[in-house]
Chain A
Amino acid sequence: MRRIISVLMENEPGALSRVVGLFSQRGYNIETLTVAPTEDETLSRLTVTTVGDDHKIEQITKNLNKLIDVVKLVDLTEGQHIERELMLIKVKASGAQRAEIKRCVDIFRGQIIDVTSTVYTIQITGASDKLDAFVQSVGDAAILEVVRSGVSGISRGEKVLSL
Chain B
Amino acid sequence: MGAHKVSAAYSVRIIIGFLKEEKQVEMLSGGDMLIRSLQEEGVDLIFGYPGGAALHIYDAIFKQDKVKHILVRHEQSATHAADGYTRATGRVGTVLVTSGPGATNAITGIATAYMDSIPMVVISGQVATDKIGEDAFQETDMVGVSRPIVKHSFMVKHASEIPEIIKKAYHIASTGRPGPVVVDVPKNTVDPMETFPFEYPKKLKMRSYTPAAKGHSGQIKKAVSMLLKAKRPIIYSGGGVVQGEASKLLTELAQKLGYPVTNTLMGLGAYPGNDKQFVGMLGMHGTFEANTAMHHCDLILAVGARFDDRVTNTTSKFCPNAKIIHIDIDPASISKTITADVPIVGSVDSVLTEMLDLLKESKEKPDEAALSDWWEQINEWRERHGIYTQPRYNTSGDMIMPQDVIKTLYEVTNGDAIVASDVGQHQMFAAQYYPFKSPRQWINSGGLGTMGFGLPAAMGAAFAFRDKDIVCVTGEGSIQMCIQELSTLTQYGLPVKIICLNNQALGMVKQWQDMVYDSRYSEIHYEDSLPDFVKLMEAYGHVGIRVNKKEELREKMEECFALKDRVVFMDIYVDPSEHVYPMLVAPGGSMRDMWLSKTERT
Interface centre among B153, B155, B330, B331 (most CB of A within 10 A): B331
Residues of chain B with a CB closer than 8 A to A9's CB? 208
Partner of B331, one of A10, A17, A55, A62: A62
Contact, CB under 8 Å: B144 / A17:
yes
Residues of chain B with a CB closer than 8 A to A21's CB? 147-148
Please, what's the 1-or-0 string for B136-170, where 1 marks a CB less than 8 Å from any CB in chain A? 00000001100110011101000000000000000
CA distance A18 to B208 in the complex (A): 14
Nearest opposing residue in chain B for A15, CB measure: B2
Interface centre among B143, B147, B151, B335 (most CB of A within 10 A): B147
Contact, CB under 8 Å: B155 / A68:
no
Question: Known contacts being A11-B1, A42-B2, A59-B332, is A71 close to B144, with CB within 8 Å?
Answer: no
Question: Known contacts being A11-B2, A42-B2, A62-B331, is A68 close to B143, with CB within 8 Å?
Answer: no
Nearest opposing residue in chain B for A41, CB measure: B3
In the complex, whether A95 has a CB less than 8 A from a CB of chain B is no
Question: Known contacts being A13-B155, A21-B148, A58-B335, is A69 close to B207, with CB within 8 Å?
Answer: no
Nearest opposing residue in chain B for A40, CB measure: B3
Q: B110 to chain A: closest CB distance in Å?
A: 15
Partner of B208, one of A10, A13, A14, A63: A10
Contact, CB under 8 Å: B151 / A68:
yes
Contact, CB under 8 Å: B330 / A66:
yes
Contact, CB under 8 Å: A14 / B207:
no
From residue 185 to 233 of chain B, which have CB atoms closer than 8 A to chain A? 206-209
Question: Known contacts being A17-B144, A42-B3, is A66 close to B153, with CB within 8 Å?
Answer: no
In the complex, whether B234 has a CB less than 8 A from a CB of chain A is no
Interface of A: prevailing SS: mixed
In the complex, whether A65 has a CB less than 8 A from a CB of chain B is yes
In the complex, whether A107 has a CB less than 8 A from a CB of chain B is no
Contact, CB under 8 Å: B332 / A62:
yes
Q: A37 to chain B: closest CB distance in Å?
A: 10
Nearest opposing residue in chain A for B331, CB measure: A62
Residues of chain B with a CB closer than 8 A to A13's CB? 1, 155
Residues of chain A with a CB closer than 8 A to B143's CB? 14
Partner of B332, one of A17, A18, A63: A63
Contact, CB under 8 Å: A10 / B151:
no
In the complex, whether B520 has a CB less than 8 A from a CB of chain A is no
Q: A83 to chain B: closest CB distance in Å?
A: 25
In the complex, whether A70 has a CB less than 8 A from a CB of chain B is yes
Interface of B: prevailing SS: mixed
Contact, CB under 8 Å: A25 / B2:
no
Nearest opposing residue in chain A for B154, CB measure: A14
Residues of chain B with a CB closer than 8 A to A41's CB? 2-3
Nearest opposing residue in chain A for B336, CB measure: A59
Residues of chain A with a CB closer than 8 A to B4's CB? 42
CA distance A63 to B206 in the complex (A): 18
Residues of chain A with a CB closer than 8 A to B155's CB? 13-14
Interface centre among B2, B4, B143, B207 (most CB of A within 10 A): B2
Residues of chain A with a CB closer than 8 A to B147's CB? 17-18, 21
Q: B246 to chain A: closest CB distance in Å?
A: 21
In the complex, whether B172 has a CB less than 8 A from a CB of chain A is yes
CA distance A66 to B345 in the complex (A): 13
Contact, CB under 8 Å: A14 / B153:
yes
Contact, CB under 8 Å: A163 / B331:
no
Q: A88 to chain B: closest CB distance in Å?
A: 29
In the complex, whether A12 has a CB less than 8 A from a CB of chain B is yes
Residues of chain A with a CB closer than 8 A to B207's CB? 71, 163
Please, what's the 1-or-0 string for B2-23, where 1 marks a CB less than 8 Å from any CB in chain A? 1111000000000000000000
CA distance A21 to B5 in the complex (A): 23
Nearest opposing residue in chain A for B333, CB measure: A62
CA distance A43 to B4 in the complex (A): 12
Contact, CB under 8 Å: B2 / A10:
yes
From residue 328 to 343 of chain B, which have CB atoms closer than 8 A to chain A? 330-332, 335-336
Residues of chain A with a CB closer than 8 A to B1's CB? 11-13
Residues of chain B with a CB closer than 8 A to A68's CB? 151-152, 172, 206, 208-209
Contact, CB under 8 Å: B208 / A69:
yes
Residues of chain A with a CB closer than 8 A to B172's CB? 68
CA distance A147 to B111 in the complex (A): 39
Question: Known contacts being A14-B153, A25-B148, is A70 close to B208, with CB within 8 Å?
Answer: yes
CA distance A27 to B172 in the complex (A): 25
CA distance A47 to B144 in the complex (A): 22
Question: Known contacts being A13-B155, A42-B2, is A71 close to B208, with CB within 8 Å?
Answer: yes
Q: B19 to chain A: closest CB distance in Å?
A: 27
Q: A74 to chain B: closest CB distance in Å?
A: 15
Contact, CB under 8 Å: A65 / B153:
no
CA distance A58 to B332 in the complex (A): 8
- List 23 interface pairs A-B (beta carbons < 8 Å), by A numbering: A10-B208, A12-B1, A12-B2, A12-B5, A13-B155, A14-B155, A17-B147, A18-B147, A21-B147, A25-B148, A41-B2, A41-B3, A42-B2, A59-B336, A66-B331, A66-B332, A68-B151, A68-B152, A68-B208, A69-B208, A70-B208, A71-B207, A71-B208
Known: A11-B2, A68-B172, A71-B208. 10 other contacts (CB 8 A): A9-B208, A10-B2, A12-B5, A14-B143, A14-B155, A21-B147, A62-B332, A63-B332, A66-B332, A68-B206
Which of B's residues lie within 8 Å of A, judged by CB?
1-5, 143-144, 147-148, 151-153, 155, 172, 206-209, 330-332, 335-336
